Amino acid sequence: GAGGGDGKPRTSPKSVKFLFGGLAGMGATVFVQPLDLVKNRMQLSGEGAKTREYKTSFHALTSILRAEGLRGIYTGLSAGLLRQATYTTTRLGIYTVLFERLTGADGTPPGFLLKALIGMTAGATGAFVGTPAEVALIRMTADGRLPPDQRRGYKNVFNALIRIAREEGVPTLWRGCIPTMARAVVVNAAQLASYSQSKQFLLDSGYFSDNILCHFCASMISGLVTTAASMPVDIVKTRIQNMRMIDGKPEYKNGLDVLVKVVRYEGFFSLWKGFTPYYARLGPHTVLTFIFLEQMNKAYKRVFLSG
């Protein structure tokens, strides 16, 4: 159809969709930021040593609360928000554009593999754009575990970005962009595949109908698979983005070096450190994002498309 009046349902324009996507992600982040903080701390704990600062996620959360207060568990919120604004908006934008390009003339959507490819491409590109905010986020959330004289002390995400660029050079803002992009690819692939599989499985069981409960349960199952698959890549990203120079040499040469050192010094299962907060963050973040998105679309239709 060439005109808009061919009985197509009126939806919000593309630009609004991306904006909503970013905003929904940001809304969800406000709820899950403390979990992100705990995950990052857990992934850094025991670095270069046998001892772990935190025994469990709950122990981490309580000790951070005790030491740094309520504001402490929201450290790096500005970076978390900027990360959503850059990563989610870019990812949704690219996904939507590619999806429409690859939809057949008769309206047949791209097949599963193509959809997975689109998702991975969009994820990787979004991750590249989001890396500077990611670096700032990792460093801001890691700061409180250092002795006061060693802290980086960034005031907010913009202060962090300016100081990193000034003190360590602009390329440092993209430090760890390879594992960040790799993580996005793994997350998108695992999420897409496991979500549709879990949903199908739940519907086939006869106990579920296609509603929000089913979507929620499918999200949570998909979250488990995604977490297990992407954690080792994620710890690589966290360690590289937080690393310092030791005697003029970087702590880690590359991602493989991180994996080898973690396994050697901290044990194989340390690759899944911070599993609980990561999973607890992934599930609700996805669900909250969708809920916010639905609500925003409804409000948009009510305000702009009615009448």
Do residues 69 and 109 lie in contact, with contact meaning Cβ atoms separated by under 8 Å? no
Closest residue by Cα to residue 290 from 76, 88, 34, 69? 88
Say which DSSP state 54 is in: -
Structure-model confidence comparison of residues 213 and 11, the more confident one: 213
Calculate mean pLDDT across residues 282-299.
78
Confidence of residue 54 (pLDDT cuts 50, 70, 90): confident
**Residue 249 DSSP SS3:** strand
Residue 227 lies in a domain: yes
36: left (phi over 0), alpha (psi -120 to 50) or beta: alpha
Do residues 88 and 126 lie in contact, with contact meaning Cβ atoms separated by under 8 Å? yes
Structure-model confidence comparison of residues 86 and 7, the more confident one: 86
Residue 40 lies in a domain: no
pLDDT value of residue 193: 82
Residue 230 lies in a domain: yes
Is the pLDDT score of 136 beyond 90? yes
Distance, in Å, from the CA atom of 116 to the CA atom of 46, rounded to the nearest integer, reads 36
* β-sheet bridge partners, residue 147: none
Q: Specify the pTM.
A: 0.83
- Tell me how long the chain is: 307
pLDDT value of residue 146: 85
Structure-model confidence comparison of residues 14 and 60, the more confident one: 60
With b for 16 or more beta-carbon neighbours within 10 A and e for fewer, the 184-206 pattern comes to bbbbbbbbbbbbeebbeebeeee
Query: Among 14-18, 130-134, 188-192, which range has the highest average pLDDT?
Result: 130-134
Residue 24 lies in a domain: no
Calculate mean pLDDT across residues 56-76.
90
Calculate mean pLDDT across residues 97-102.
88
Q: Which of 13-27, 165-179, 187-201 has the lowest mean pLDDT?
A: 13-27
Is the pLDDT score of 150 beyond 50? yes
Residue 292 lies in a domain: no
Distance, in Å, from the CA atom of 187 to the CA atom of 270, rounded to the nearest integer, reads 19
Is the pLDDT score of 104 beyond 60? yes
User: How far is residue 88 from each of residues 83, 218, 286, measured CA to CA in Å?
Assistant: 8, 21, 12
Enclosing domain of residue 218 = 177-266
Is the pLDDT score of 216 beyond 90? no
Is the pLDDT score of 10 beyond 60? no
Residue 253 lies in a domain: yes
Calculate mean pLDDT across residues 215-224.
85
Is the pLDDT score of 239 beyond 90? yes
Confidence of residue 288 (pLDDT cuts 50, 70, 90): confident
Residue 223 lies in a domain: yes
Q: Using DSSP bridges, classify how beta strands 245-246 and 249-250 pair: parallel, antiparallel or unpaired.
A: antiparallel
Confidence of residue 229 (pLDDT cuts 50, 70, 90): very high
% residues pLDDT > 70 (the chain): 94
Is the pLDDT score of 84 beyond 70? yes
Distance, in Å, from the CA atom of 119 to the CA atom of 110, rounded to the nearest integer, reads 12
Residue 237 lies in a domain: yes
Calculate mean pLDDT across residues 64-77.
91
Is the pLDDT score of 185 beyond 70? yes
pLDDT value of residue 2: 47
Is the pLDDT score of 8 beyond 80? no
Residue carrying structure tokens 């983005």: 241
| Tally of domains in the chain | 1
Distance, in Å, from the CA atom of 155 to the CA atom of 163, rounded to the nearest integer, reads 10
Supply the mean pLDDT for the chain: 87
pLDDT value of residue 51: 67
Question: Any residues with CB less than 8 A from the CB of 272 and at least 6 apart, and which?
Answer: 228, 231, 232
Structure-model confidence comparison of residues 93 and 158, the more confident one: 158
